[in-house]
Amino acid sequence: MPDFPMGPFMLDLEGPELLAEEREWLSHPGVGGIILFARNYQSPQQIKALTAQIRKAAKKPLVIAVDQEGGRVQRFQEGFTRLPSAARFGELYAKDHKRGLAAAQLAGFLMAAELRRVDMDLSFAPVLDVDSGISEVIGDRSFAREPEAVAVLAGAFANGMRQAGMAAVGKHFPGHGGVAADSHHTLPEDDRSWRQLESRDLLPFRRLIQSGLEAVMCAHVVYPAVDSLPAGFSSRWLQDILRGQMAFEGAIFSDDLAMAGAACMGDIRDRAEAALAAGCDLLLACNCPGESVALLDAIRWRQPPGKQNRLAKLRAKKQGLPLENLCIIRSRLEKLLDQIN
């Protein structure tokens, strides 16, 4: 297959089967990826057939992704291991550091290996947000309330993903755990100082970047001490801090442009242009099929230096293990987690 450049848009599909109009736009040069949701899933066999149809219709390399963190955010459930929330690993880590890290790594491996069996490239994980006890949308999706614990547990989870051939995506940069509001419904503001953000929320991102983190997803959150724009639309956050100060060389995802937290930037076209200008490599545009497909011809985009190399690293490297091997890993994980019951 020719190695065509990957476009900047990651779109979604309406249901469990590929529609005729979706087959048409999948080959558009602006499409760089597809994100799947629970509405697209019926069984492992069905989702594997759907990914094959997507790749055939696209006629080019692209990234097929899903949110498969575990706990409250796991789109594929029946036929897949029901993964615990990240906070469960934090609870085990508080009792026994070694076992907590081992469980997190096994979970990352198991999640990625199961997704590879159905030809998925990517899960948007691990969550690097530090739980401050006030964010309902994050809550137990965070590994812990201490940034050091978040860093080591998320690092173990990411290492497990890599062992199964899957890149890791840290989210939500620079940290969504310090605000109560949910950016799906409104635009949160985090009024803490730069020193507070740097010493707490940025620490897990900094540690995983030093260990080779392949991608980040941005938060639709404003941090007035740093910039008046939400992080995913801010060149201050993405270019000066993430690329510059933190020396991040991986891919940058926007969060969903259709979320209410992005509305301050204008209509969806304005949001897409602002995210690209700030430095995002792949833009998620979900749950608004007419508007998102219209972006493909409405937005003029270019290939920044290094972008294709960054995106190529997101495509999965290995197929998943045989079921019998996964059963052994699942059993080992369950035994570790039983110690916190």
In the annotation, is 255 catalytic? yes
Question: Checking DSSP bridges between strand 9-12 and strand 283-285, what pairing results, if any?
Answer: parallel
Nearest one of 132, 104, 149, 123 to 188, comparing CA atoms: 132
Structure tokens given for 202 = 């940025």
Q: Does residue 176 have a cis bond before it (omega within 30 degrees)?
A: no
Contact 218, 161 (CB under 8 A): no
Check 97, 184, 191, 297 and give the catalytic one: 184
Angle at 62 between CA 56 and CA 66, to 5 degrees: 100
Alpha helices of the chain — where are they, by DSSP H?
20-26, 44-58, 86-95, 97-117, 147-163, 194-199, 202-210, 235, 268-278, 289-298, 307-312, 323-337
Q: Identity (one letter) of the amino acid at 341?
A: N
Say which of 67, 140, 255, 281 is annotated catalytic. 255
Are the beta carbons of 115 and 68 closer than 8 angstroms? yes
Q: Which residues are catalytic?
A: 184, 255
